[in-house]
Amino acid sequence: MARTLTVSAERAGAYPTIRDALEIASDGTVISIEPGTYAESIRLSGRRVSLVAAKDPGSVTIDGGDAYAPAVACEGGEVTLSGLVIKGADYPAVNATGTRLTIERCEASARYAAAVSVTDGATLTATEVKVTGGQYGIIVEDAGGLIDKCEVRDTADDGVIVRLGANPTIRNSTIAGCGFRGIYVYQAGRPTIERCDISGTGDAGISVAHQSAPTIVDSWVHDTRGSGITFGRGCGGSVEGTRVESTATPGIFVEEGANPTIREADDGIHAPKVGAGVIEGGNQQDAAKVEKLLAELDTMIGLAGVKSEVRALIDEIQVNEWRRSAGLAVGAASNHLVFTGAPGTGKTTVARLYGQLLKALGVLPGGDFKEVSRRDLVGQYIGHTAEKTTSVFEQALGGVLFIDEAYTLSRSAGTSADFGQEAIDTLVKLMEDHRDQVAVIVAGYTGDMVNFLDANAGLASRFAKTLEFENYSPDELVLIVQRIARNDDYLLAPGLDEALMEWFAQIERDQNFGNAREARKLLEGMRKAQSGRLRALGRMPSRDDLRTLVLDDLLAATR
């Protein structure tokens, strides 16, 4: 595990400055910085460290404005900057030479220099970095890497400069309001510019010069005072699927002696979505959390079909996010589900896990779980039900609304049926209006849920899929008893498993069969029987006596 050092000007025992912490930091150390402004100039030579905001991104400012050096200078090594606001003046805010530099969720600016400059074989990974104002935005010189979901706005000169053979990938980024060019590629630069939004420049949106050959794909260059894209003599590269609109003429200028390959963009409704704004507010996924939750689902006993269906849903959501990131069309998808089956088959547990999975995938912001039944939705008079249902629904926004025994809302449920129908009609409208903000899961007996879905013409179409929860088999019920017993610190005596199997095999499995609830109820009966048996021993029971359930306990519980 990485060592962590805390920097805080206020907290006792913490390092008062970032430089103080760096003096004793070893390779791999994370410097966790408490909120505040730190007037420092940091130099990292051959270091492998991370400077991370301890709280929300933007809560920590490193201000090197008064120093005659970059605010953060890196030479060699491997450096990560996360969640910081970094300010320079006459020197870059961040300057990296020959360094593996990662910048994520940071803001950077310099008054008379570049906000971020990477040179001499450095590798840059910049994600969700915002550059506003200053002389230049980002300079990549004789270096490579990835600039993803970044914004460069309102620079006095060029927004992004790629030169001296540099070959970064710039994608899903927005470059706007630059005083000169949006992206300037020269001196044999070979960047890939993909799904970027470039606009409002004082000259060309993208300017290519001096033997450079960029690959420009699925981008949008618009509202520039100069041509959208210019290629100078001796330059090559390609332009494909890129819209050039509202620029000086010609939209793409190719000087004599240049030989780029140009394929015009399709004029269709599926033009790629471009720029950081498409990603902003989008899904932020926690892949490790998703895998952990799926592993937790796999540990549930039985439910092979349900597990397969849930994994298929998660796979579809993941692929849709990959398509969205690639600028491809993604169809509207519903996260609402129907769970059918007898009680005690794990419907509530799976619903909770599904909500947490949607949160980890970035589909739902909260993932909270709200379980309700008819009495929580249905009022006592006409109009009251719509009010109650709407209130409950709004409380569940951002998470999962789980309606157990939902079939009791339909007209066939009996008394006050019209009020139940009012709840259904209200739900149908709310589910459509807020389809991306909540997952509604309705659960109940298989046959009854068919009648429930017929209660409103538009109800069934609101749900993406129906998951059938089958009754547990006798051997699965024995496993459930074993698991509950183990969690409660009980042991089953030898031979008791076989007796439990016989008991569960002969139980009638009608509509009222409780599955896991039957297993828990049986175990509770066995524990009560054990208590009576131990009390009758006439002596203090041993630790093994207290932990062990025997055949006589089962016979007493089922008598």
Report DSSP letters for 474-485, one per residue. Answer: HHHHHHHHHHHH
Question: Which structural domain, as residue segments, surrounds residue 46?
Answer: 1-134
Specify the pLDDT at position 277: 66
Residues 210 and 130 in one domain: no
Specify the pLDDT at position 229: 97
CA distance linking residue 246 with residue 219, whole number of Å:
14
Q: Which two tokens stand for residue 55?
A: 């709280």
CA distance linking residue 471 with residue 78, whole number of Å:
55
- State the Cα angle at 224 between 218 and 228, rounded to 5°: 45
Residue 142 falls within a domain, yes or no?
no
Q: Which residue has the higher pLDDT, 151 or 451?
A: 151
Stretch 116-131: mean pLDDT: 95
Residue 69 in contact with residue 86, Cβ under 8 Å? no
CATH number of the domain to which 545 belongs: 1.10.8.60
Specify the pLDDT at position 414: 47
Stretch 425-450: mean pLDDT: 82
Residue 274 falls within a domain, yes or no?
yes
Specify the pLDDT at position 378: 82
Residues 209 and 87 in one domain: no
Residues 432 and 308 in one domain: yes
Percent of the chain with pLDDT strictly greater than 70: 92
Residues 315 and 439 in one domain: yes
Specify the pLDDT at position 515: 78
Residue 342, pLDDT above cutoff 50:
yes
Q: What is the mean pLDDT of the chain?
A: 87
Stretch 432-442: mean pLDDT: 81
Banded model confidence at residue 282, pLDDT cuts 50, 70, 90: very low
Residues 83 and 196 in one domain: no
Residues 270 and 414 in one domain: no
Residues 98 and 208 in one domain: no
Residue 152 falls within a domain, yes or no?
no
Residue 310 in contact with residue 471, Cβ under 8 Å? no
Q: How many CA atoms lie within 13 A of 355 on its CB side?
A: 23
Residue at which a domain ends, from 225, 249, 281: 281
Stretch 229-246: mean pLDDT: 95
Note the pLDDT tens digit of each residue in 187-201. 999 999 999 999 999
Between 61-75, 416-430, 480-494, the lowest mean confidence (pLDDT) is in 416-430
Tell me how far CA of residue 93 lies from CA of 8, 249, 510, 519, in angstroms.
21, 36, 71, 64
CATH number of the domain to which 328 belongs: 3.40.50.300
Residue 105 falls within a domain, yes or no?
yes
Q: Which residue has the higher pLDDT, 420 or 358?
A: 358
Residue 161 falls within a domain, yes or no?
no
Banded model confidence at residue 280, pLDDT cuts 50, 70, 90: very low
Residue 158 in contact with residue 135, Cβ under 8 Å? no
Banded model confidence at residue 346, pLDDT cuts 50, 70, 90: confident
Residue 275 falls within a domain, yes or no?
yes
Q: Which residue has the higher pLDDT, 205 or 263?
A: 205
Note the pLDDT tens digit of each residue in 197-217. 999 999 999 999 999 999 999
Residue 456 falls within a domain, yes or no?
yes
Q: Which residue has the higher pLDDT, 511 or 313?
A: 313
Residues 6 and 63 in one domain: yes
Specify the pLDDT at position 416: 43
Residue at which a domain ends, from 217, 247, 281: 281
Residues 120 and 240 in one domain: no
Residues 314 and 221 in one domain: no
Residues 75 and 217 in one domain: no
Q: Which residue has the higher pLDDT, 383 or 51?
A: 51
Number of domains in the chain: 4
Banded model confidence at residue 370, pLDDT cuts 50, 70, 90: confident
Residues 407 and 512 in one domain: no
**Segment (H or E) for 147:** strand 144-148
Note the pLDDT tens digit of each residue in 514-543. 778 888 888 888 889 889 888 888 888 899
Q: Which residue has the higher pLDDT, 504 or 116?
A: 116
**Segment (H or E) for 501:** helix 496-506
Q: How many CA atoms lie within 13 A of 19 on its CB side?
A: 11
Single out the residue of 503, 551, 500, 501 nearest to residue 530, CA to CA: 551
Residue 407 in contact with residue 304, Cβ under 8 Å? no
Stretch 155-177: mean pLDDT: 96
Residue at which a domain ends, from 281, 312, 343: 281
Specify the pLDDT at position 286: 75
Residue 411, pLDDT above cutoff 70:
no
Residue 157 falls within a domain, yes or no?
no
Stretch 132-142: mean pLDDT: 94
Q: Which two tokens stand for residue 402?
A: 């789980």
Residue 270, pLDDT above cutoff 50:
no
